[in-house]
Amino acid sequence: MPPLCTPCCCGVLNRTLAVAFMVLLAFAIVVGNVVTLTVFVQTRQSRTPQGYLKSLAIADMMVGVLVVPFSVYTEISLMVTSAPPLWYHGNPTSPAALSSLGGPVGPWQPCMLIGPVFAGCTFVSISTIFLMTLERSVAILWPLHKDALVTRRRTLLLILLSWAASFLLALAPLIFSGNFTLEYNECSRMCNYSPLLFGGRLPPDANILLVFPAFDFTLLGGTLAVNIVSFTSIRLYTRKRKLLSEGSLSDAGGGGGGCLHRPSFSDIKAAKTIGILTFAFTASFSPIAVFVLGNVVGNTWCNFSFFAFWILTGNSCCNVIIYSVRDHRFRKGVTLLFQRERSPPHAEKT
């Protein structure tokens, strides 16, 4: 066992509780996002550019289908078997690490797939939220030009570009540096990027991992700025409408310096929903950013890393919860979906 693995965090009881939590989380992620995708495919109200931007459900479901089950499998293997798998450790003395350094080739490291998938899906989530924010801002600021600016073709192109850029960024530490590997971490119970230590020291390019939080917080900052502009426009319109209802402002020519645009109620509510999504993602990603920063400077927080990584993983089912509470079209689609499944055959109806 690694020196950081203490009985407190790696005992049988702790592993059992962790596996139970992972199984429940994987079930919630998969079921929730399958329902979301089914509603998206079968409901006409969701076949809009905004609906296509909800493709983040695919990224969330990949986390529930690949990332979490792999952690469940590894944890159960460590409880059942007396020795960990050959691919388990990714340190410089392991076969996987030696192969990357020109040594003998060892068994394939599954974390080389699972780790980039988790990182890539995280980047897809924030980039999709950013695109959704831009789409809603266009609907609020330029409602007359919304259909011309936001088309299905442009939306699909932006989604494809965001997926390509996200997974390319996830592979950046492996592409642009030979001093990193991916290994299953005892503390986080997940595949993590790990720098190869030389003489007990971090490699000189260890700070390349900072590109991950820099990318996410840049998009989060852009999302926040766009939301501020959108909500300012909504506030101006709401204030003008209130003054008009009180008779203290003339509506002739849109005077009074108020907002000339009249966003619909659905656009306003969708903007608020996306704002809640942004807040939820920021809250779930911030612990990871703190952990990465501490890891780069040489600090290791075992217990904190578990909570940080799995709080971020839990965000994959938060999006479904937020939409089910906030989006009336989504609720209507779910209702129609289950009513269709429970409806009796035509022969029984007659």
- Please state, as a whole number, how many other Cβ atoms lie within 10 Å of the Cβ of residue 17: 11
Query: In Å, what is the CA distance from 205 to each residue of 50, 66, 164, 213, 295?
Result: 40, 29, 24, 16, 13
- The span from the CA of 286 to the CA of 9, in Å, is 23
- For the chain, the domains span 12-87+109-190+204-244+265-338
Judge whether 130 and 219 are in contact, CB under 8 Å: yes
- The span from the CA of 26 to the CA of 314, in Å, is 9
pLDDT by residue, tens only, the chain of 350 residues: 444 455 455 667 788 888 999 999 999 999 988 888 888 777 665 566 666 767 788 999 999 999 999 999 998 888 888 677 777 764 444 444 444 444 445 567 899 999 999 999 999 999 998 998 888 888 888 877 878 888 888 888 999 999 999 999 999 988 988 888 888 888 888 898 888 777 667 777 778 888 888 898 899 889 888 888 888 887 777 777 767 666 655 554 444 444 445 666 666 777 778 888 888 888 888 888 888 887 766 667 777 888 889 999 998 888 778 877 777 777 777 777 777 655 555 555 54
Look up residue 190 and give its amino acid: M
- Please state, as a whole number, how many other Cβ atoms lie within 10 Å of the Cβ of residue 157: 11
Q: Which residues contact 259 (CB under 8 A, 6 or more apart)?
A: 233, 236, 237, 240
**CATH code of the domain occupying 12-87+109-190+204-244+265-338:** 1.20.1070.10
Q: Six-digit token pair at 96?
A: 């996987």
Q: How far is CA 28 from the centre of its chain?
A: 15
